[in-house]
Amino acid sequence: GRYLCAGSVDFYNNLQYFDVDAEAGKRGIYHRYCIERGAAHSCDVFTTVSHITAYESEHLLKRKPDGVLPNGLNVKKFSATHEFQNLHQVNKEKITDFIRGHFYGHNDFDPEKTLYFFTAGRYEYRNKGVDMFIESLARLNHRMKSAGTDMTVVAFIIMPAQTTSLAVEALKGQAVIKSLKDTIGHIERNVSKKLFDKSLSWHEGQDPPDEKDLLSAQDKIMLRRRLFAMKRHTLPPIVTHNMINDSEDPVLNQLRRCQLFNHPSDRVKVVFHPEFLSSGNPVLPIDYDDFVRGTHMGIFSSYYEPWGYTPAECTVMGVPSITTNLSGFGCYMEELIENASDYGIYIVDRRMKAIDESVNQLSEYMFEFTQKSKRQRINQRNRTERLSDLLDWKRMGMEYVKARQLALRRAYPDSFADDGEGEPGFFDGTEGLKISRPLSAPGSPRERSGMMTPGDFASLQEGREGLSTEDYIAWKLPEEEEEETYPFPLTLKQKGAKQGDAASPAAGGSGTATPTVVNGNGLS
């Protein structure tokens, strides 16, 4: 699935028509595909990480998953309780220090009226939605300039790529700002000492000390030198490193096509950092977790994303994010929460809308966010952080317990002969597995009717309960197209041919010595 999506294919609308064996062979991954399909058919219990991956597995691996086991997070590791707002301010200042150096000579925007957006992940230009992200930034830039807003957006793209070294301009910018800061610190200490000494010797009738008495000629010369060093005749760079074959890099090429060059008139600035973040980096010395806390919004417009840990990490750290309904996380939050955007989870429709409409929806979400006041953003971060309990392994892990129990029942059916319906409350959530409604209001998530736990809407089902595709995903495929109008040069099976039953062969009573559970993670 990952390989097909990366090839500009209308993947989800034509999933049942792919000749999977031929496509895997053409891409040199037939051995991986065979291992994954063999594991899926041989295990006692087959699960996937999300609804969207279950839909994919049913057609590519030819077995319906027995259930969905969403990924969780160790929320305690990220928890900062009431301090997370302070951490945002502290880490935002670290990012602002980098911005001052990177945009030296063109710092014509107010840091207090600047928003930091970012996307991060593996360098998968289409799968991670970077193409859609950059196009949306271009439209956002045009809209903000047309609206005459005084806000500025700095968009970071954090994705490791092939580089040779740090760019000279990026290093020079940080050095120039550090030199200016050191000089001003030196002048500040001198002025402070002179002001203190002159104040001690002041007598009634004398004029109070002024700047002529405090700022020496040497201090003025030093300051003038630093200010001349701030002059810049080129635009701030859009990338912090020297790229290998930068003329062929898809991210840089799209930034050029969209003319996002960090011009002074642009309201959207772009920084492409083709390296993982680290506090030891001389240009942007900050760890990833701290960087996320310092930003205002994470944007992950993925086309292929079995789960999506990056928006989940944003959520537990109280940072609003934009995801899509083609990611596992987006589907999960859309099912669990009504009006998810009220809680800082914006979901772009990439499934039922045309790409142009999806790009407009994404740019609209970003523009609406730029119109929020500081108090509104603080309130939204509080609401977002309250969702973290929904992603805790203490709750998500319950589904793994259910998967193990089901595997035991299938591997050792005789041990459960006296209890044909399973342990009371284990699969139906009647023994304390329901999530109680949070007591805080009004920022707590409003759960959908009947959706009391993450597991209940995607709970594991016994083989006797027939599951259709609509149980995994809340949409149906459009009407079939005519053969001659099919636009993709792929090896496809005949549409009239029977695709075979995607359900697994009955595993119960197989007498397997050791029960096995396989969780499909979107590797096909």
> CB 248: neighbour CB atoms within 10 A?
9
Tokens of 453: 């736990």
Task: Find the mean pLDDT for residues 388-404.
Answer: 91
> CB 253: neighbour CB atoms within 10 A?
14
494: pLDDT strictly greater than 70 = no
| pLDDT grade for 520, boundaries at 50, 70 and 90 | low
Q: Where are the beta strands (DSSP E) in 88-145?
A: 114-120
269: pLDDT strictly greater than 60 = yes
Three-state secondary-structure class, residue 321:
strand
- The bridge status of strand 114-120 relative to strand 67-68 is unpaired
Range ranked top by mean pLDDT from 7-11, 112-116, 494-498: 112-116
480: pLDDT strictly greater than 70 = no
| pLDDT grade for 485, boundaries at 50, 70 and 90 | very low
Helix, strand and coil content of the chain, in percent to the nearest 5, comes to 45, 10, 45
Give the pLDDT confidence score for residue 380 in this predicted structure: 94
* CB-based contact 323:344 (threshold 8 Å): no
Give the pLDDT confidence score for residue 418 in this predicted structure: 56
pTM over 0.95: no
What residues contact 356, with CB distance under 8 A and at least 6 apart? none
Tokens of 419: 């209890």
- CA proximity to 324, closest of 361, 342, 350: 350
Q: From residue 135, give the alpha-carbon distance in Å to each of 11, 142, 236, 253, 359.
A: 21, 11, 20, 12, 7
448: pLDDT strictly greater than 70 = no
Give the pLDDT confidence score for residue 151 in this predicted structure: 96
User: Which one is predicted more confidently, 487 or 102?
Assistant: 102
Least confident span in 46-50, 122-126, 431-435, 514-518: 431-435
523: pLDDT strictly greater than 90 = no
Three-state secondary-structure class, residue 478:
coil
Give the pLDDT confidence score for residue 385 in this predicted structure: 92
Secondary structure of 392-432 in the HEC alphabet?
EHHHHHHHHHHHHHHHHHHHCHHHHCCCCCCCCCCCCCCCC
Task: Find the mean pLDDT for residues 31-46.
Answer: 94
The H or E element spanning position 251 is helix 250-257
| pLDDT grade for 284, boundaries at 50, 70 and 90 | very high
What percentage of residues in the chain have a pLDDT greater than 90? 59
Q: From residue 351, give the alpha-carbon distance in Å to each of 30, 139, 327, 468, 478.
A: 28, 21, 10, 19, 11
| pLDDT grade for 490, boundaries at 50, 70 and 90 | very low
Beta bridge partners of 45: 517
pLDDT per position as a tens digit, 360-387: 999 999 999 999 999 999 999 999 999 9
* CB-based contact 337:445 (threshold 8 Å): yes
Tokens of 56: 């994919």
Task: Find the mean pLDDT for residues 271-298.
Answer: 96
User: Which one is predicted more confidently, 386 or 512?
Assistant: 386
Task: Find the mean pLDDT for residues 264-277.
Answer: 96
Give the pLDDT confidence score for residue 434 in this predicted structure: 30
Give the pLDDT confidence score for residue 17 in this predicted structure: 87
Task: Find the mean pLDDT for residues 47-75.
Answer: 92
Beta bridge partners of 46: 518
513: pLDDT strictly greater than 70 = no
423: pLDDT strictly greater than 70 = no
Which residue type sits at 492? L
CA torsion angle 286 292 298 300 (round to 10): 70
Least confident span in 7-21, 55-69, 321-335: 7-21
78: pLDDT strictly greater than 80 = yes
| Rounded distance between C-alpha atoms, residue 92 and residue 295, angstroms | 6
Helices 309-316 and 328-336: angle between axes, nearest 10 degrees:
50
Q: From residue 106, give the alpha-carbon distance in Å to each of 215, 322, 363, 503.
A: 27, 29, 25, 61
Tokens of 523: 């590797």
Averaged pLDDT of the chain: 82
Least confident span in 285-289, 306-310, 395-399, 430-434: 430-434
Task: Find the mean pLDDT for residues 125-130.
Answer: 94
Which residue type sits at 494? Q
> CB 111: neighbour CB atoms within 10 A?
15
